[in-house]
Structure 1
């Protein structure tokens, strides 16, 4: 069966093509191979699992692999963390089930922040304007009191200021201002967050 290109000129490429055979991320240093293999195994069996292990065990394992984690942190089952050595978590942080922390760059999570079920923090991306589809990594910073709603995505380079909220199933591609509630894809400001004593 022959596949034809669309006749609409708006749908046709203006120039160039992606060539993944030329992709090269050898510049990216994720650490020694032994640490990657060890983390892959430990993560699969003791962190990214539904085994009913106490959060303290998950935290101890993450610290063993270089994560900086404060006190009173709750890490639920089936959390997936790419590289613990690039993770800093403050005090009294909640990380819900199936959170995916894809930290090719450093991720910093402030005190009293909450990542709800299935939230994703994605520091990696690709330069789609280059034929080589180059890897691009940028850090993420969540300030104190930030709430990332269930199944929401925070993209690389985004800073979420103090007590900002990203609503359920939203995508943050730009900074979130302090005490702002954001919703949608891409997320836009909806209203101010008020916290009563």
Structure 2
């Protein structure tokens, strides 16, 4: 078997950060001080800061202290959604619908590398959470995944493929274990 060395410079393909160096620098310190540190427990102030940096945030959205957001200008959160101290590594767009929940220490990661390529090329894909989706504590959602309407990814599970609507998924990789039945 022929082994090939990886290039020293990784291939970032068509990846664009989407903000000036100054905006990136300002966001870095804002993120560390106000968001990641947990020093600012008031959700409405965190929402205002996200909007100032280009995030589209709906009404009555709750952002909890300790959250990490890579690039707010690539983030959209619709009405009445709730984000705990989770990790949003959004090299690509993350769109969160209405009434969604992202629980404690959940990870949404939109980028990865092509390990079969000597250039170790960057691969990105958007993540979409449709209305009513719930990402359990310490669950992980990978690049290019859509969590369809009212689907649940249970605690510690990993979604590498789209999750169907009104279904509950568990495991690594996540598989459907039952239907989600919502009662009044």
TM-score bucket (shorter structure): over 0.9
Distance 2:144 2:5 in 1: 24
Q: CA distance change for structure 1 residues 134 and 70 in 2, over 3 Å: closer, same or farther? A: same
TM-score by length of 2: 0.96
Q: Does 1:160 align with 2:147?
A: yes
Residue of structure 1 equivalent to 2:166 = 179
The 8 Å contact of residues 165 and 181 in structure 1, kept in 2 or not, is answered as yes
Report if aligned partners of 1:152, 1:167 keep a CA contact under 8 Å in 2.
yes
Q: Structure 2 CA distance, aligned partners of 1:42 and 1:108?
A: 21
Q: Could you tell me how far apart the structure 2 residues matched to 1:117 and 1:108 are?
A: 18
Return the alpha-carbon distance in structure 2 between the equivalents of residues 158 and 123 of structure 1. 9
Higher Cα radius of gyration:
1
Gaps of 5+ in 1: 1-13
In the alignment, the residues of structure 2 paired with residue 65 and residue 127 of structure 1 have an alpha-carbon distance, to the nearest angstrom, of: 30
SS of residue paired to 1:194: coil
- TM-score by length of structure 1 reads 0.90
| In 2, Cα distance between equivalents of 1:52 and 1:85 | 20
Q: Which of 27, 48, 59 pairs up with 2:36?
A: 48
2:40, 2:34 → 1: CA distance?
A: 10
Question: Which structure 1 residue ranges, 4+ long, deviate > 4 Å from structure 2?
Answer: none
Structure 2: tracts of 5 or more residues without a match: none
Q: Classify 1:139/1:26 alpha carbon distance in 2 versus 1 (closer, same or farther; 3 Å).
A: closer
1:132 CA drift (Å) = 1.1
Report deviation, 1:29: 1.6
Alpha-carbon distance in structure 1 between the residues aligned to 2:54 and 2:179 = 36
Structure 1 residue 117, shift from structure 2 partner: 0.1
Q: Does 1:190 align with 2:180?
A: no
